Amino acid sequence: MTLTRTLTTQPSPGMTPPRQPRRRMTARRFFSRYVAGIIAILASIVVFIVPFAFILLTASKTAQEASLFEFSLPQQGWQLFENIAEVVQTRDFMLLRAFVNSTVLTVASVTLMVILAGMVGYVLQRRQSRWNGLMNFFVLAGLIVPPAIVPTIWVLQGLGLFKTMPGMILVEVTFGLSFCILLFRAFVATIPRELDEAALIDGAGPLRLFFSVVLPLLKPVVITVIVVQSVAVFNDFTGPLYFLPGDENATVQLTLYNFQSQSVSQWNLLFANILLITIPPLIMYIFFNRQIQEGMTSGAVKG
């Protein structure tokens, strides 16, 4: 039997390494690198930028031009700032009160969602018991079963919370809690159990364990829940319409009724109002887009 030894020679410091043959770009590689990206950019422009541009142009026109619904530049001068000023001053600055109400509703609802969903998701993931199946059923039912308007109003009236901000906050928390629990539960699975055991050995109680050890590690999914649910609560229209009536309780979405009726519709002011209430969610998505993607995918990738 002859043993063959393969000798590998390494280039000396003064020698240049041999040039690798340059791979030719095939049609498939060219398509995946350039054409697919261009198509995605064009699709994003059509889906997102074109509607926003139509809103901006319509909000900058006069009432006569806006009623034509044409995708064109204003012919009688840009009236954007004048329309915005009129929208803000309508009905004794109702839009400013609506922004305050929407901000309070959003901050309080999202804060409760983060705390409650984080606790429930942690318990469902860490502690296995015979009740977990029932709890998972209720969580999924919260995503599948549609909300009932009349029974919810009846419950709020019985509790004395109908037409009140606390009652509306509880409704928003109830509607969004199931989705948040699923996100938190998927992310808690990526946290090693050894951290919990070490904290318990050091004498940490259940609340201290969650708020001091577990919750700081849930930062990606916390940011995801905050951004997604803030936009959902801020843009909610049917909830405040049914459960929080009254001009003093109006949210930003309900101010759209100020410029639309069965007989007269001021489309330029309506689109100016839409432009104002679209800016805050748009800013949140622009600045927290990366955190949203990390929070939505981290539990699926690591778990």
- Residues forming a β-bridge with 251: none
Residue 262: the pLDDT is 59
Residue 1: the pLDDT is 44
Residue 3: the pLDDT is 44
Q: Which residues contact 109 (CB under 8 A, 6 or more apart)?
A: 169, 172, 173, 176, 229, 233
Residue 167: the pLDDT is 93
Residue 295: the pLDDT is 60
- Residues forming a β-bridge with 265: 260
> Is pLDDT larger for residue 45 or for residue 99?
99
What is the tens place of the pLDDT at every residue in 245-282? 888 888 998 888 888 765 567 888 999 999 998 888 88
* Per-residue confidence band for 106, with pLDDT thresholds at 50, 70 and 90: very high
Residue 225: inside a domain: yes
The yes-or-no verdict on residue 89 having pLDDT over 80 is: yes
Residue 40: inside a domain: no
CATH number at residue 254: 1.10.3720.10
CA distance 119 to 105: 21
Q: Kindly report the average pLDDT of the chain as a whole number.
A: 82
Residue 98: inside a domain: yes
Domain hosting residue 209, numbered range: 92-302
Residue 57: inside a domain: no
Among 218, 204, 8, CA closest to 118: 218
Residue 231: inside a domain: yes
Residue 18: the pLDDT is 55
How big is the chain, counted in residues? 303
> Is pLDDT larger for residue 28 or for residue 280?
280
Residue 32: inside a domain: no
Tokens linked to 152? 């919810």
CA distance 109 to 114: 9
- Max mean pLDDT range (24-28, 149-153, 166-170, 190-194): 166-170
Number of domains in the chain: 1
- Residues forming a β-bridge with 301: none
Residue 38: inside a domain: no
What is the reported pTM? 0.77
Side-chain-side CA neighbours of 65 within 13 Å: the count stands at 19
CA distance 43 to 289: 18
- Under a CB-based contact definition with an 8 Å cutoff, are residues 272 and 84 in contact? yes
- Under a CB-based contact definition with an 8 Å cutoff, are residues 87 and 237 in contact? no
- Under a CB-based contact definition with an 8 Å cutoff, are residues 95 and 275 in contact? no
Residue 76: inside a domain: no
Residue 30: the pLDDT is 63
Residue 11: the pLDDT is 52
Lowest mean per-residue pLDDT among 10-19, 48-57, 126-135, 247-256: 10-19
What is the tens place of the pLDDT at every residue in 120-161? 988 888 887 788 788 888 888 888 888 888 899 999 999 999
